Amino acid sequence: MTSRERIIARATGKDADRVPFVIQWGPWEDTLRRWRTEGMRNDGDWHSQFGFDAYKSVAGVNFGLCPEFEREVLSDEGDTIVYRDEQGVIKRDRKAHTTMPEFLEFPVRDRKTWNEHKWRFDASTPERFPDDWSERSRALSESEGLVTVGTYPYGFLGGPRTMMGVEACLIAMALEPELIEEINEHLCRMWLSIWGRVFEETRVDCIAFWEDMAGKQGSLISPDMFRRFLTPYYRRLVELGKRHGVKLFSVDSDGFMHDLTGLFIEAGVNVIYPYEVQAGNDVALLLESHSDFCPMGGMDKRVMARDRDAIDIEMERVAALVGLKRYIPFPDHLIPADVSWESYQYFVWRWRELTGKKD
């Protein structure tokens, strides 16, 4: 089987020749700096030397802000800088280390600022498609990986929260629901238009959304809010994709996903990741309750910072999960800097062995 065929078969409950050996996230920059001091010769070695299967081939079309904001440093504070990023968000961040930035200001604060911002989400902007789109679309049709549309950081909570900030977005869902519906309707219509053209001109296997809508405590919104602000838009895009032969409809969300999984499946999603172990997710329990979707991720990245015995125990746990047929394992997020290069290599070689990849 090709990598694409194997992933689709596994994700949809069909027979596959073995478990896909794919990785979603690599190391943080701080981790790369450490690994360079421990014998990693090239920055790509964390991926290239292990023979991972082909995973995703992105369409190369702009599905988000077009144009993006120009990244601009607003203030140099010594150890930190204040800058405006490509999404128009003003942040404070450390120069020397990989950390979560401090979010200072967002481009959308009310209906007036949304009206000033939404021109960047015009589906007809010519620059959305690259100049070599005709050649690229032909190449995508022959890609070994999953041809994927969708883009970080967009979904139907992910989209408005990126523009507004999570607190303001959640408050607006309660106090100004029509504004969130207007934003999501605009995003949905834009994607229906852009993706519709992509579907007509090349093969597409996967629609990908980003939400990050849970913490360890569970969902940031109620089931009623989910069904109001997310479900109708997901269903329209899933219907469009199915008409064009799209097989996989995926969501990336951190946190404890047990309460949200059924809601996403109800909306048409059939792949969800990363199911972080440290957030309390139990892939086996979820598959007992929901046999009609594919969880991906769910390998506890924290064991890499311990020892080989801990890694071996984790591999035994994951080996039992891969027998559940619709599960595709990979580490449950970016690899932190407390992981040595030696430990990472041992983890990945054990993981490769678990998938049954020989060549």
Dump pLDDT digits (tens) for 177-208.
Answer: 999 999 999 999 999 999 999 999 999 999 99
Residue 96 lies in a domain: yes
Residue 259 lies in a domain: no
Q: Are residues 123 and 192 in the same domain?
A: yes
Beta carbons within 8 Å of 173's beta carbon, 6+ residues apart: 180, 221, 225, 229
Q: Are residues 137 and 177 in the same domain?
A: yes
* Domain, as residue range, for 87: 70-106
Residue 310 lies in a domain: yes
pLDDT at 110 over 90: yes
Q: Are residues 114 and 224 in the same domain?
A: yes
Q: Are residues 3 and 152 in the same domain?
A: no
| pLDDT at 359 (0 to 100) | 81
Q: Give 282's pLDDT tier (boundaries 50, 70, 90).
A: very high
Q: Give mean pLDDT, residues 91-99.
A: 89
Q: Are residues 98 and 215 in the same domain?
A: no
Report the share of the chain in percent with pLDDT over 70.
100
Task: Tell me which residue of 59, 34, 58, 32 sits closest to 47, measured CA to CA.
Answer: 32
Q: Are residues 131 and 234 in the same domain?
A: yes
Residue 276 lies in a domain: no
Q: Are residues 99 and 122 in the same domain?
A: no
Residue 266 lies in a domain: no
Q: Are residues 115 and 238 in the same domain?
A: yes
pLDDT tens per residue across span 113-159? 999 999 999 999 999 999 999 999 999 999 999 999 998 999 999 99
pLDDT at 96 over 90: no
| pLDDT at 237 (0 to 100) | 98
Q: Give mean pLDDT, residues 151-178.
A: 97
Q: Are residues 48 and 136 in the same domain?
A: no
Residue 269 lies in a domain: no
The one-letter amino acid code at 21 reads F
Q: Are residues 116 and 239 in the same domain?
A: yes
Average pLDDT, the chain: 97
Whole-structure pTM value: 0.96
Distance CA 288, CA 336 (A): 31
In the numeric block, which tokens belong to residue 204? 């597409």
Q: Give mean pLDDT, residues 254-269.
A: 98
Q: Are residues 99 and 123 in the same domain?
A: no
Query: Cis peptide before 153, with omega less than 30 degrees from 0?
Result: yes
pLDDT at 342 over 90: yes
| pLDDT at 238 (0 to 100) | 98
Q: Are residues 133 and 33 in the same domain?
A: no
**Surface-to-core class of residue 137, CB atoms within 10 Å of its CB (0-12 exposed, 13-18 middle, 19+ buried):** buried
Count how many domains the chain has: 3
Instruction: Decide which of 246, 277, 304 is a domain's last residue.
Output: 246
Q: Is residue 67 within 8 Å of residue 120, measured between CB atoms?
A: yes
Q: Is residue 182 within 8 Å of residue 112, measured between CB atoms?
A: no
Among the residues of the chain, which ranges form H helices?
Answer: 3-11, 29-37, 45-48, 111-117, 133-141, 158-164, 166-175, 177-201, 223-229, 231-243, 258-267, 283-289, 308-322, 341-355
Residue 127 lies in a domain: yes
Number of other CB atoms surrounding residue 202 within 10 Å: 22
Residue 251 lies in a domain: no
Considering Cα of 157, then 160, then 163, then 167, what sign does the dihedral take?
negative
Task: Tell me which residue of 189, 270, 206 sits closest to 244, measured CA to CA.
Answer: 206
Q: Give mean pLDDT, residues 74-94.
A: 97
